Amino acid sequence: MTLDPVVLFFLLGVGARLARSDLRLPDALYETLSIYLLLAIGLKGGVELARQDLLALLPVAATAFLLSAAIPLIAFPLLRGPVRLARPDAASIAAHYGSVSVVTFAVAQSVLARAGVEAPPEFAVLVAIMEAPGIVVGIMLARGLGSRRAAGAAGAAGAAGGDAATAGAGMRWAPLLHDAIFGKAVYLLLGGLAIGALVGEAGLAPLKPVFGDLFRGALALFLLEMGLVAGGRLGDLRRAGPRLVSFALLAPLLFGSIGLLAGKLLGLGVGGITLLATLAASASYIAAPAAMRVAVPEANPALSIGASLGVTFPFNVTVGVGLYLFIAQRLAG
């Protein structure tokens, strides 16, 4: 399988940091790329929404939305407990796994095409639907969702990250929801989705040179910066130890299994089950890093990028997608 060049840009950044190169991207450029990517992803998803019969797609869309919101709630206690991460890091990683990887979805479509299995074209809209819910839940987790349960284990939380004071704080839903939904990152993602859905492909045609043609180039620069950041903090990933690596390998199998079961219960065909499982199993390395870098700056990006892009992404594209297809074929009879 041909390597995606944007992934190689990430490795280029890691290599530059490991080689102690003086390569740097200006902070203003990184901030601009983050805003651009969030808007572009939202706009593309909105255009797909405008093309669909929303009523017919509603059961699958609702399931995808719930999956994206539920996965961080499953991942977070695993990351806090067995993996022993601090609240911001656990919430950030949980958000990455609640969101989705567009590249992994594209790989799944390619695998289905080679296998002669029809890939439902309307499933592209699920990528947009599943981008934001997991990120919103991740931000809420970082800022205190489930704090009362965490407060009961304040001693263990202190050993994991010294954030027992945050865990013991009372929940204030109004400001929490406001920050989660109207914070810059999620606001741009959802705003782009709304604009794309309202104006459609024809309305966005004048902006295509900016938000379409330049997207992969901007993504490559963004991942170059992510590689620089992650490469400079690989020591943190090593200190997290085999527990985090084990989570990054087992998480796609767990969440992919949930996606397979959901697809079977919805009565989807082989292609639909495979794509839903792939989205559930994937972890974002585009929207989530940009969002969490803005919304939860105290989280260590080396851990989230290392897990999602360094472990889960290669596993999914080399082993996972083929495995989900194999199981989907059995489930669909």
Domain of 90, CATH number, reads 1.20.1530.20
Q: Which range has the top average pLDDT, 87-91, 189-193, 208-212?
A: 87-91
Cα separation, 25 vs 88, whole angstroms: 25
Average pLDDT over residues 4-18: 82
pLDDT digits (tens, 9 = 90+) for 282-321: 999 878 887 888 788 899 888 998 899 888 988 898 889 9
Give the integer Cα–Cα distance in Å for 194 and 199.
9
In terms of pLDDT, which residue wins out, 255 or 139?
255
Contact criterion met (CB below 8 Å) for 283 and 101: yes
Give the separation between CA 2 and CA 259, rounded to whole angstroms: 26
Q: 3-class SS at 3?
A: coil
In the prediction, which pLDDT does 184 show?
Answer: 76
Of the listed ranges 95-99, 212-216, 253-257, the one predicted with least confidence: 212-216
Instruction: Give the whole-number percent of the chain exceeding pLDDT 90.
Output: 39
Choose between 128 and 96: higher pLDDT.
96
Q: Token pair for residue 50?
A: 């405008």
Select from 265, 241, 204, 278 the least CA-distant residue to 49. Answer: 204
CA distances from 54 to 122, 197, 282, 284 (A): 10, 11, 24, 25
Domain that holds residue 307: 5-16+24-331
> In total, how many domains does the chain have?
1
Residue 68: half-sphere exposure toward Cβ, Cα within 13 Å: 26
| pLDDT for the residue 241 | 81
Write the pLDDT tens digit of every residue in 114-130.
889 988 877 888 888 88
Instruction: Answer whether residue 153 shows pLDDT above 60.
Output: no
pTM of the model: 0.74
Q: What is the 3-state secondary structure (H, E, C) of 267-290?
A: CCCHHHHHHHHHHHHCCCCCHHHH
Q: Which of 163, 291, 232 is nearest to 18 (CA)?
A: 232
